[in-house]
Amino acid sequence: MVRPILPNSHYTVAWICALPVERAAGCSMLDLEHDGPSEVSLGDDNAYQLGSIGRHNIVIASLPLGSYGTTSAAVVATQMKSTFRSLKVYLMVGIGGGIPKPSHDIRLGDIVISKPENNLGGVVQYDLGKTVKRGHFERCGSLNKPPQILLTAIAGLQASHELKGINKIRNYLSEAYQKHPNLVEAYTHQGQEHDVLYKADYEHEGDTTCESCNTDEVVSRKELVSQIAPLGISSPLSLESSSPQYTNLQITAQAGSTMRQDPRHVAKQHIFDIPRILHPHFSGRQKYLQQIYDALHRGSTSERGAIVSIFGIPGVGKSQLSIKYVMENRNGYNFGFYAIAKTVDHWLSSCTNIALALNLPGAGSIDQGQITQALKRWFASNTDWVLIIDDAASSVVELLRSSLPQNLNGHVILSTRDKHIAHEFCPSACCIQLLEMDLTEGKELVLKISSREGDTSEVAERISQELGGLPLALEQSVRCAVQRCWNLSTLFDNLQESKLQVVKDPIENSHHADVITTLDIALKELGPTHIDILKLILLMRPQALPLALLTDGAPDLSYVRGEYHTRDETNDSSGGINAAPTKESKIWRKRIQNRFTGLRLMKSKTKSEFTVSQHENTMKLRAFNHMRGILQSKSELDKAILVLEKSSIVRRSENGRIWVHDLFREILQFKIEESERKVFVQYAAQIVGRGFPVESFHTKSAICSCYLPHALEVMMLLEKYNLHNKETLLTMRSIGKYYSCSGRISESLRWSQHLLKITNDTLGQGHRESLIIMAEVGTILGAQGSTDEGLQMNTCVLIDLAGSDFIQYARDRFASTNNLVASAENKGIEVFQLCQCVLRAIDCDQDHMACPDWESILIVIGNIVSKLTHHITPGEGTEFYREMLATEVKIMGEEDPSTANTACSLINFLILYERYEEALELCNHFIPIMITIYGENDWPTLNILYRQAMAFFGQGNYDEVRQILEMAISRVKNTYGEDHPFVYQSIRGLGQALERQGHDDEALAYFEQAYSGSQRFFDNNHYEVQLTARCIRHLKEKLDNDRVPEVLRYLYTTRSIECIEGNRD
């Protein structure tokens, strides 16, 4: 069975064990084991087992071997919080020493759960007290109480045990032994004869067992008739068992630290998802910090929310100022978030991260429109939050406006280079232009970073003046000086010497020369391998670049030779990046190139020089192997990034994301000579291609959203340098599929059309890959409503793939066959006839000689017929898909995804044709296959479960309908969040089953819930909204008139089938 990979935000329960045997027992209790985690925070050394029990997703971790006690438990809990930010409950589960009392007869195998009592939180930690006279334990401190939701659940569990005698522990153990037979011998209760209690003051003989102990010291206890792991609820922890003040049942050594560490025990939730990229030596800027505060708190605006814009040149410190303000004023907020708005995909990825941090319903959904709307509702209904929107670009302004509520209840700080964007979002009074540091501020920053005895204010002031007061350049240069143990005088001399080498041509911004000068000093400290890794990072848009992308894509990295044919200068801008350089930017590029020719990194070469010698190629191969070795090892990559951090070129946030300032990136990219740039673009393409998911986008939506901005950057560079190949085109196809699955149909269409053009140019218009992409474009057009155009494109693809000779053969042989199409003429009749002919010809072509590309043709036929459901009868559709399924099973096998999808289409038509028994047989046969292919929680599996419920409904088996739909709803909520269209569609189905069973009031409540939820996703003309409204109307008429009208068969209309198909897409 495929083990699902869920986003880290879906895990809400932490299960911490001290010993390996405790962890083994805990893992055996999981209903389903998961792969993952999807991402691990920097510095998290825990080894996790992920899984689920019921609807709860659980993280299991254990203490390091041989390291026990409160300190180790605290470290594990803290690191766990950094990776899994949505954890709500922390459980310390394991073996403890029992402390029997007259009121509690504790036995081996009993279960003890802590609870608060009097002024105690539920745990009494041994090092928060002291023993005083007569052995009494005096408490000197206290720990937190468990969360209220957990205490409520425990009370309900205890009541069930006492009132109903419900105890399922034996069943759970039996299931665990069946799944893990190796546990039977070591983990089964050994019998009451092994449960021996000695007197409290008896000193044992010192052996690991009690075989040598004095049996006269054994406490006599009555024999139990039956023991099924009784449940004890008490305050469990105190080392002094004779103390009468605590009703302790158990001793353990780690629980106290987890009670301290759990942040969810506080009444108010605090979430600050701000990257820690603030410079540690930030200084000055007090005037601007006060302006931000005044703008956000002017008059009554602080009560209803406000927005402030900061604009200025690159490197002036806009991002740093925004983060500094939030960190200084964090006590005034309960929530703090950071988002990048450089591109649309950066913004959407940021929205996903914020929704995951808040654990919003639907946060793990692949539908990014759903995520942004859920976040918009949260912003509108909550206060005490602050949001930083960094580096806003004009292409994102419209999306930003639609993503934020009209009436803000929190504070927004927007930074941008463009003053027009700043004024578009804010009135002039709330727009702040951030200027360079004055001499005093610059001097203070230099001295604060340097912290070196003997450095004078005069030299610091001269350095600030030399670099124009630009914070980015000041920080870069002084940190390099610190690394090289220079004093400020030496730094100033080197700055002057470097600046003399810069040509005097005017450029578009005078501060670029200052940054170039400081970068020159920093790069001289880096080794060749660190330079190579820096080149790779620079080409992948290093704004929140996840290290996981580098490590995921590195294992199969292959060497690229540095031999290229240059492209025409006129075609160099075809990729859309810097496509129309201005005269000033050309001068600037030339100036940068001239500046760095001495370092041999941008040396101009002629076409004939691109072929490297054998010796040079050997050296480059060695360098590549060294770089690949570092990328494949997380620890080695961490060390390399640390070196780049010390150079002040790279910053790393606490969650392992890599940041390079845009100005650094722009300058350093030009610093790489073109031939080298092409090599590293191909390395980046290999990494992205291996790291970006190619399927199961619904279960990997968080990973896709995180990787997408960086993948798009690499794809554009590939196009710019004309470096696309079959592998990179497959990556582009995966991106297009992700766009489609995430509900971004317009972007999916534009991307697929662009991909079709690239594929035609790269492989040729008649190539199989070009035709397949053309078919995908036709399918997307059909989904957008351009059915005729999409159908025409797919038909052309079918003819081109099969070939004119095979098409003619199929028509000649099968066009006159009886029962081809007997229905009245309609628009799609000829296309449907063609599909039937080709399908039967493929089935007869046993050796596949006449039609070698049958697999692609079958996929295209499936796409075509799925758009012709309105043109054919249920009987025709049933017979066609029956033939297609038989052909695919024979050719591709049952476990091919295309075969499984065809089976689902056949099930649809069988239900419409009221052949429920046959539909159920297919469901029972293909559901295990779907789980094997996609896992239990992906959409194809969930949709076939819904079809199974539909078939049971047709048979009148409403109990089965309810059971299946409740299970499907639970899976959707656990995987994609509670607020999802499939949930409301299934709730409507539950209501219909309840109505048929006579539970009208309960059915009406389900209908109204489904209607309210569906309206949040669809307009009132959508078939799901109209269908649910019809259910409500008929049921209300029935209740009002106290009569039973003939109920329409809502569930099995063609529109229901369309709704299911829409959810699958």
Whether residue 206 is predicted with pLDDT greater than 90 in this model: the reply is: no
Domain boundaries along the sequence of the chain? 8-92, 97-202+222-251, 272-433, 439-500, 528-760
The per-residue pLDDT for range 236-281, each reduced to its tens digit, is 343 333 344 444 445 454 444 444 344 333 334 567 888 877 777 8
Residue 497 CA to residue 491 CA, distance in Å, equals: 10
Q: Is the predicted pLDDT of residue 591 greater than 80, yes or no?
A: no
Distance from C-alpha of 442 to C-alpha of 690, rounded to nearest angstrom? 45
pLDDT of residue 357: 80
pLDDT at 359 over 80: no
- Mean pLDDT value of segment 746-761: 88
> What own/partner pairs with CB < 8 Å and gap ≥ 24 does 566-570 have?
566/607, 566/610, 566/674, 567/721, 567/722
- In this prediction, residue 938 has a pLDDT band, given cuts at 50, 70 and 90, of confident
In terms of C-beta density within 10 A (0-12 exposed, 13-18 middle, 19 or more buried), how is residue 32 classed? middle
pLDDT value at 730 more than 70 = yes
Dump pLDDT digits (tens) for 524-577. Answer: 778 888 999 999 999 998 888 888 888 887 877 888 876 433 333 333 333 333
The pLDDT of residue 187 is above 80: no
- Alpha-carbon distance of 376 to 212, in angstroms, equals 69
What is the predicted pLDDT for the residue at 234?
A: 45
Angle at which helix 457-466 crosses helix 471-483, to 10 degrees, equals 130
- Write down the pLDDT at residue 701: 78
Whole-angstrom Cα Rg for the chain: 34
- Residue 555 corresponds to which amino acid? P
Backbone angles phi, psi at 308, to 5 degrees: -130, 140
pLDDT of residue 62: 87
Looking at domain 272-433, its CATH superfamily turns out to be: P-loop containing nucleotide triphosphate hydrolases (3.40.50.300)
DSSP element (H, E) containing 268: none
Q: Is 33 exposed, middle or buried (0-12, 13-18, 19+ CB in 10 A)?
A: middle
3-class secondary-structure state, position 1040: helix
Higher per-residue pLDDT: 311 or 188: 311
196: confidence class by pLDDT, cuts 50, 70, 90: confident
Which is more confident, 223 or 883? 883
994 compared with 608, residue with greater pLDDT:
994
133: left (phi over 0), alpha (psi -120 to 50) or beta: beta
Highest-pLDDT range among 451-465, 838-852, 999-1013, 1040-1054: 999-1013
**1026-1039: burial string, b at 16+ Cβ within 10 Å, e else:** ebbbebbebbeebe
User: How far is it, in rounded angstroms, from Cα 929 to Cα 334?
Assistant: 47
Residue 304 banded pLDDT, cuts 50, 70, 90: low
849 — pLDDT class (breaks 50, 70, 90):
low
Helix, strand, coil percent values for the chain (each to nearest 5): 55, 10, 35
Please tell me which residue, 193 or 384, carries the higher pLDDT value.
384
User: What confidence score (pLDDT) does residue 872 get?
Assistant: 77
Q: How far apart are CA 923 and CA 906, in angstroms?
A: 10
- Encode pLDDT of 39-64 as tens digits: 777 667 888 999 888 778 899 998 88
- 796 and 851 in contact (C-beta within 8 Å)? no
Average pLDDT of the chain is: 76
Once rounded to an integer, what is the mean pLDDT over residues 91-104? 73
DSSP 211-231: TTS-GGGBPP-PPPS--S--E
Instruction: Give me the count of residues in the chain.
Output: 1065
Alpha carbon 595 to its chain centroid, in Å, reads 42
Q: In the block, which residue shows the tokens 């400290």?
A: 525
CA distance 552 to 690: 7
Residue 85 φ/ψ, nearest 5 degrees? -80, -10
pLDDT in tens, 854-892: 778 888 888 888 777 777 777 888 888 888 898 888 888
Q: Which residues contact 115 (CB under 8 A, 6 or more apart)?
A: 122, 146, 151, 154, 233, 234, 235
pLDDT band at 225 (very low <50, low <70, confident <90, very high): low
Report percent pLDDT > 70 for the chain.
Answer: 75
Spatial separation of the C-alpha atoms in residues 789 and 70, rounded to whole Å:
67
What pLDDT, on the 0 to 100 scale, is given for residue 852?
Answer: 62
- Contact by Cβ (8 Å): 93, 273: no
Q: Residue 370: which of 1016, 1028, 985, 1061 has the closest Cα?
A: 1016
- H or E stretch covering 914: none
Give me the pLDDT at residue 161, please.
64
Local confidence band at 609 (pLDDT 50, 70, 90 cut-offs): very low
Greater confidence (146 vs 371) lies with 371
- Measure the CA–CA gap between 100 and 218, rounded to whole angstroms: 13
Looking from the CA of 31 toward its CB, the CA atoms found within 13 Å total 10
Q: Tell me which H or E stretch contains 1020.
A: none
- pLDDT of res. 517: 73
How confident is residue 579, by pLDDT bands cut at 50, 70 and 90? Answer: very low
Q: Supply the pLDDT for residue 1019.
A: 73
What token pair was written down for 574?
């075809």
**Residue 428 above 70 pLDDT?**
yes
Tens of pLDDT, residue by residue over 773-811, are 898 888 888 777 777 888 888 888 888 888 888 888 888
Q: Return the sign of the alpha-carbon dihedral for residues 223, 224, 229, 230.
A: negative
Mean pLDDT for the stretch of residues 95-121: 69
d(CA 275, CA 366): 24
Quick one: pLDDT at residue 60?
92
**Span 683-727, pLDDT tens digits:** 999 999 988 888 777 767 778 888 999 999 999 999 988 898 888
